[in-house]
Structure 1
Amino acid sequence: MLKRVLQALAVVAVTAGAALADPNFWKHEWPETDFSRTSVPHWGEILSGGPPKDGIPAISDPQFIRVAQAKGIGPTEPVVTVEIDGAEPRAYPIRYLTWHEIVNDTVGGVPVAVTFCPLCNSAITFDRRAKGRVLTFGVSGKLRNSDMVMYDRETQSWWQQAVGQGIVGEMNGVKLTALPTWMESWAQFKARHPEGLVMAEPAFSRSYGSNPYVNYDSSARPFLYNGEMPPHGIPALERVVRVGDRAWPMTRLADIGLVREAGVEIEWTAGQASALDAGTIARGRDVGSIRVRDAQGRDLAHDVMFAFAFHAFWPDGDWMLGN
């Protein structure tokens, strides 16, 4: 059913996107965006994902409760863990990020944007400071290579989530700093931080805990993506661990558990459910959790994304296949 729905939506969106891939059309919704400044080679790369601007509402006033107070989160459900010096550890459940995609927060004095693009399985936390300003991010409703295009409310510039870079407007070409946060299971977070904080359920009418993209990560092709498939016979929707411009296939990591190469250490641990498998996130198959550290044991910024998205945004990137 999902496959038929996605295929139908893709045909409509691609057709409409091709016809409307023109800043003159977008200006009625984005009158303050400077479309003369862009690094996008062809406007046709940007498509509507369906919802309009802010149709997927980002969160800018997250509330938190203690781990012991949280109810209803399954032990294998994924969370984004944010640990910043001077602040209590915080978990941002994917059950909420699936429906909101961005949480603007401040942790230990650092303004952060915790982001999750379901269509690319990309969960990255950014420092919201850029060019001397603190930005607040929202969901544009646009996609490029199936990846969320964010925007900032201060300059109305567009940003590519997977890359963390401005692609349209005043902030075109500006890079955000990615922070060393990671996805793990709720049980794994609780075990390390029994007194930690977890984001409370937002005050929106959403089916939190459910997955609107049932069986998506078993699909042969991604949604709203017309680019090249990954090389080396790697399935388009296989998860890879991206560190810089290198990608390690998750299947390789799951087979051996620990990799030390290219100056990084990547450890795979069982126990985290896929957020893009079963209709209920907690029942998703086990895809494992990843920690990425440098030679001194310090956590490194990274992403666990689908292979097609890595190839789309890093076409000359290195595939760490272990051969």
Structure 2
Amino acid sequence: MLPSASSPPSTPEAGFDRDAYERFRLARRLGQAVASWDDPEIVPGRGAPHMRPDDYVIGLVFRQRPRAYPLWIIDNYHAINDRVDGERILVASCERCQSGSAFRANAGDSSEREPLFRAAGVLNAVLLFKDLRTGSYWNHYEGLALRGRSAGFRLEWIPTYHMEWADWLALHPETEVMAPPQDQTHPDARHGHGREEFFARPGMDPAFVPTIVGDLDTRYPENQMVLGIHDARGGIAFPLREVQREGGVVSRESSGRNLVVFAGPKPDGFTMAAFLAAVDGQDRSFLREDGSFRDRETESHWSIEGRCTRGSARGATLTPVPCFYVRWHAWVYCHRGTDLFRSDRAFPPLRHEDLSDPELRSVIEMLAADPGDVLTEGPVLSQLRPRESRSSLVLRLGGERIRVHRFTSDSAARDFELLEGGWSAWPYRSTLLANRITRVGRVVLEADPEDRFVDPAQIVPKPESGLPGLLRLDPPRMPRPRGRESPPAEGTPGFIEVLRALRRAGFDVIDAGFLPPSQLRVGCTNGIGVTIEGDRFLLYRFETPEKAADYARAQAHALPAGSFVLRSTPVTMYVDPTYEILYAGDEEVRWSGLLEDARLRRAFGAAGVP
């Protein structure tokens, strides 16, 4: 483990408000089911059969052993009590905060009882842990004890890095990774508790809002990811999108220290880290370049983990600063006095070389007579890019924000258009963030208004008439297909063809939206959630019919058709349907009878097998 800069004095900032804490409660049986997992199975990362390249993981290196924890696994348990070379470490996460921190599991007490942690409740919309050694309550992502014998004590921080599995594996080919537990209460880790989450999903949990002590924050969108750092003034938060706007690097003085904050390391990356800027007593200045960070003084290149990988300083390391990567609401309500970094850098004009794809370039040229009239924020973050998009950009035209996607096929572009780019966020919402869309062949232009909600918690959406900009698309300005559009090519049915076939067969089909990446199966190119005749289903599209058939054979209550699989996922699957906690058991679940309906099987089979 790298040495880290020391933390400020360990004093709980806001204390423990018992009344606020009592405003959210789960039944004991439910709470215990999502409270922790001890001693997880750890397997070699290379060739791990349960992992997708785009899986969101929390990576760490402890005692020179790299290890990754997939968010789609640990969101079921929150507190992962692991061991590395015999030493207990705690990996702490909450899907509502999008957190992922790690600590040495020393609860600040000399007791011989093992230091195990359990999720215990919510305060200031942040999950609290309780340790079994001292009975103290802890802010989970900071490792700070708020109440009990350990109050004021901070666990020793271990640097963690949020990134996609393929990127972590490239950094650490020898890494290990957590395997899904064999857990009868939660047999499918990619389904159930936390599955509605996607990167920076807007909307606080309504049941968490009453636990907030004080007024709701209005400075920044609650869902945006920030890197929070303690300092003598009460902390500072660096939002990912503000650091990306600065080119992926921000330098800042804090409590007498010169810090550097990295973001990326690729332009569409979302990893953040903070370090002391000095190397051998001399401050360095950095810029992001070609997937790493170059210091201007020696021209050396540094990784997102602060390791010099090329140049005269090769082998040196930057000193990491304790920092916590969470959604803004998770940071601000625990640090009311925090500073907030904002970039004042202007968005640059779109350059011709940014549009290497000729189809994408032709559509942008139709948008504006001069490409210089189009400003660019950069690529869409990899976790938010549609799964079948070859490239995606965030642009500003006339002050209005849009996303432009170049899909791999007409079928994928048509699916995205007709589903309005909406996410399936069940059970939080049936669909979320559907937009107005214009499509030209394989290129899709998507309105992306920034101010969508009535309230700071982003729970109540504005009506369409109250949304700014291109959500009410201006037809004269937007490009349109010329002539009659050709039908989908033979052999390339999309989700829309399947849904239309079911509707033509007389079935009521509603609430279709794209699944978050964490819900997609290995070998699956994309998927949607959908309601058919009032029953909830997942509809997957696999890379090949053979992979679809393999999955359907292994998964009960699933029907294959070509590369598609339709899976029954009724609301009765879990004892608690609101948070999808505790699998109810095969005999208790009211599985949809539609999978045995001859009319549905004919319609689905004909649509899925061209």
Equivalent residue number for residue 81 of structure 1: 59
Higher deviation after alignment, 184-193 or 166-175: 166-175
Q: Which of 281, 285, 290 is 2:272 aligned to?
A: 290
Pick the structure with greater CA Rg: 2
Equivalent residue number for residue 277 of structure 1: none
2:235 is aligned with 1:258: no
Equivalent residue number for residue 333 of structure 2: 312
Native 8 Å contact 1:152 1:158 kept in 2: yes
TM-score by structure 2 length?
Answer: 0.41
Rounded Cα–Cα distance in structure 1 between residues aligned with 2:242 and 2:173: 32
Rounded Cα–Cα distance in structure 2 between residues aligned with 1:254 and 1:195: 30
Equivalent residue number for residue 136 of structure 1: 116
Q: 1:110 to 1:250 in 2, by over 3 A?
A: same
Letter in 2 for 1:242: G
Q: Structure 1, unaligned stretches of length 5 or more?
A: 1-37, 273-285
> Shift of residue 81 of structure 1?
1.1
Rounded Cα–Cα distance in structure 2 between residues aligned with 1:60 and 1:188: 27
Native 8 Å contact 1:229 1:308 kept in 2: no
Letter in 1 for 2:69: Y
Rounded Cα–Cα distance in structure 1 between residues aligned with 2:161 and 2:198: 23
Residue by residue over 1:117-146, the C-alpha shift from the partner in whole angstroms, topping out at 9 and shown as x without a partner, is 111112111221123355110112x11112
Rounded Cα–Cα distance in structure 1 between residues aligned with 2:15 and 2:272: 32
- The equivalences for 1:73-222 within 5 A come to 73-85=51-63, 87-108=64-85, 110-129=87-106, 130-133=108-111, 135-140=115-120, 142-204=121-183, 205-210=186-191, 211-214=194-197, 217-222=200-205
> Shift of residue 267 of structure 1?
1.9
Q: 1:48 to 1:55 in 2, by over 3 A?
A: farther
Q: 1:55 to 1:48 in 2, by over 3 A?
A: farther
SS at match of 1:207: coil
TM-score by structure 1 length?
Answer: 0.75
> Shift of residue 196 of structure 1?
1.5
Rounded Cα–Cα distance in structure 2 between residues aligned with 1:179 and 1:215: 25
- The equivalences for 1:226-245 within 5 A come to 226=210, 227=212, 228-232=215-219, 234-244=220-230, 245=235
SS at match of 2:20: helix
Count of residue pairs the alignment pairs up = 270
Residue by residue over 1:140-162, the C-alpha shift from the partner in whole angstroms, topping out at 9 and shown as x without a partner, is 2x111121111111232222213
Rounded Cα–Cα distance in structure 1 between residues aligned with 2:249 and 2:82: 32
2:42 is aligned with 1:64: yes
> Shift of residue 252 of structure 1?
0.8
Residue by residue over 1:195-236, the C-alpha shift from the partner in whole angstroms, topping out at 9 and shown as x without a partner, is 22111221113432344334684434444124433343x111
Rounded Cα–Cα distance in structure 1 between residues aligned with 2:119 and 2:137: 9
Equivalent residue number for residue 262 of structure 2: 267
Rounded Cα–Cα distance in structure 1 between residues aligned with 2:142 and 2:171: 30
Letter in 2 for 1:290: M
SS at match of 1:212: coil
Q: Which of 318, 321, 326 is 1:300 aligned to?
A: 321
Rounded Cα–Cα distance in structure 2 between residues aligned with 1:251 and 1:161: 24
Rounded Cα–Cα distance in structure 2 between residues aligned with 1:97 and 1:271: 25
Q: Structure 2, unaligned stretches of length 5 or more?
A: 1-13, 280-317, 345-610
